Amino acid sequence: MPLTYSILQSLSDGSFHSGETLAKAAGVTRAAVWKAIHCLQTDYALEIHSVHGRGYRLAQSIELLNRDAILQQLQRQSQLAGLETFLTIASTNRYLMQAPAHDITAPWVVLAEQQTAGRGRRGRVWHSPFAGNIYLSLLWRFQQINANFVGLSLVIGVVVCRLLSQLGIMQLGLKWPNDILCQGKKLSGVLIEMRGETHGPYDAVIGIGLNLMMPETGEREIDQPWIALSQMLPALPSRNTLAARLIDLLLEALPQFETHGLQPFLAEWRALDAFRDQAVVVHLGENRVHGIERGIDEQGALLVEVEGKQQRYYSGEISLRRR
Ligand code: BTN
């Protein structure tokens, strides 16, 4: 186990640990401990207090991701081909998109404490500070060539809302295709990337970011109103438990979607539609279309009333029109 990680594990309880105890436990010198502490402060932006005579402690205790703990809590573990957790990674989506098909088979899940190049939709950056949130990607293989990919986006939004409702979170909404909002602010985002051959099968890399606790520095770097679970719940649930529940819900919903399509999820999505009957702007590349959002059709396409006529959109993004 790398020294930085073993020291982080010792410090994760939020109590003081002397340099000497940390050094003894890891079988290294105190100078090596100091170096590791410095690395935790700079590379992972962790706030660590150093007090003469008492040692080091994290400003806040943290629960680190634990692969075994996640696997133990999974009810559908037998359905999963693999699960990996990383301390730091460029992007969990990128990792799965680039993984050689013979090394990694579907369904495969990757989670990380931190992403240094977290990807959002439309080329945006997904701010991914260390150990506070959930960054999860799942590789799913579709056997059908004609899978409905707009529908898939909507299903994932519904799955995340199911998870949040189980936690007692209210005032949830979905912004087409799959932004998860709470009190009108973004709580979770989904990025689905595809790879595959022309004649299938197709791999979908389903990436989900869920805000649990955003450090203040995050606030300045996110360009839209956001919210985190810590602002709604008196105590945060375990990240390992949350990850396990999310994986179980995905493994329940995806085979259902493959067999029955969007149908079993339509009513739920429509009930969560945050912009229904509101004046919206549809962003299609450089183009903007103004209209009234009228829900989704059976395939998941967005319906917008534009100058009295109903239009259908299979891609793009919407925002509320300011009056
Ligand atoms: C959005 O813009 O709303 C989509 C955000 C998706 C973020 C997640 S975090 C895990 C996965 N890895 C990435 O690089 N992006 C997705």
Protein residue whose Cα sits closest to atom 2 of ligand 1: 120
Of 191, 222, 239, 246, the one to substitute when testing ligand 1's pocket (max ligand atoms within 8 A of C-beta) is 191
Q: Which long-range contacts (CB under 8 A, 24 or more apart) does 5-10 make?
A: 5/87, 7/33, 7/36, 7/37, 7/40, 8/40, 8/46, 8/64, 9/64
AA letter at 322? R
Ligand 1 touching residue 209 (CB < 6 A): yes
Best residue among 96, 119, 127, 190 to mutate for probing ligand 1's pocket (most ligand atoms within 8 Å of CB) is 119
Instruction: Provide the pLDDT for residue 261.
Output: 93
- pLDDT means per 10 residues in the chain (323 residues)? 89 94 94 94 92 93 95 97 96 95 90 97 92 95 79 96 97 95 96 82 93 70 82 94 98 95 96 96 92 96 96 91 70
* pLDDT given at position 216: 63
SS3 of residue 42 by DSSP? helix
Question: Among the atoms of ligand 1, which is closest to the Cα of residue 179?
Answer: 3
In whole angstroms, give the CA distance from residue 202 to residue 272: 29
Closest ligand 1 atom number to CA of residue 115: 14
Residue 207 Cβ inside 6 Å of ligand 1? The answer reads yes
- pLDDT value, residue 222: 62
What's the gap in Å between 174 CA and the centre of ligand 1? 16
DSSP 14-38: SS-B-HHHHHHHHTS-HHHHHHHHH
The one catalytic residue in 76, 121, 195, 294 is 121
Please state which CATH class domain 3-58 belongs to.
mainly alpha
Our answer on whether the CB atom of 129 is closer than 6 Å to any ligand 1 atom is: no
The finding on whether 120 has its CB within 6 A of some atom of ligand 1 is: yes
Is the Cβ atom of 157 under 6 angstroms away from ligand 1?
no
Cα(179)–Cα(187) distance, integer angstroms: 8
Q: What residues does each domain of the chain span?
A: 3-58, 67-270, 275-322
Q: For domain 67-270, is the CATH number 3.30.930.10?
A: yes
Question: In whole angstroms, what is the distance from residue 38 CA to residue 237 CA?
Answer: 29
Fold match flag (67-270 vs 275-322): no
- Write out the DSSP string of 46-89: --EEEETTTEEEESS------HHHHHHH-SSGGG-SEEEEEEEE
**DSSP-assigned letter for residue 162:** H
Specify whether 121 is catalytic. Answer: yes
Distance CA 50, CA 18 (A): 9
Tell me the CA–centroid distance for residue 190 and ligand 1, in Å.
Answer: 6
Catalytic one of 57, 141, 175, 186: 186
Q: Which of 85, 86, 93 gets mutated to test ligand 1 (max ligand atoms within 8 A of its CB)?
A: 93
> Please, what is the end-to-end C-alpha distance for the chain in angstroms?
56
Nearest alpha-carbon partner for 235 in 207, 213, 208: 213
CA distances from 202 to 96, 143, 151, 261 (A): 13, 7, 15, 16
Helices (H), 171-262: 216-221, 239-260
- For residue 15, the tally of other CB atoms under 10 A from its CB is 13
24 is catalytic: no
Q: What is the pTM of this model?
A: 0.94
- Catalytic-residue membership of 220: no
Per CATH, is 275-322 categorized as 2.30.30.100?
Answer: yes
The whole-number pLDDT of residue 93 equals 98
In angstroms, what is the span from residue 206 Cα to ligand 1's centroid? 9
Residue nearest to atom 10 of ligand 1 (CA): 135
Taking the C-alpha atoms of residue 25 and residue 7, their distance in angstroms, rounded to an integer, is 9
Q: Which of 35, 76, 294, 321 is catalytic?
A: 321
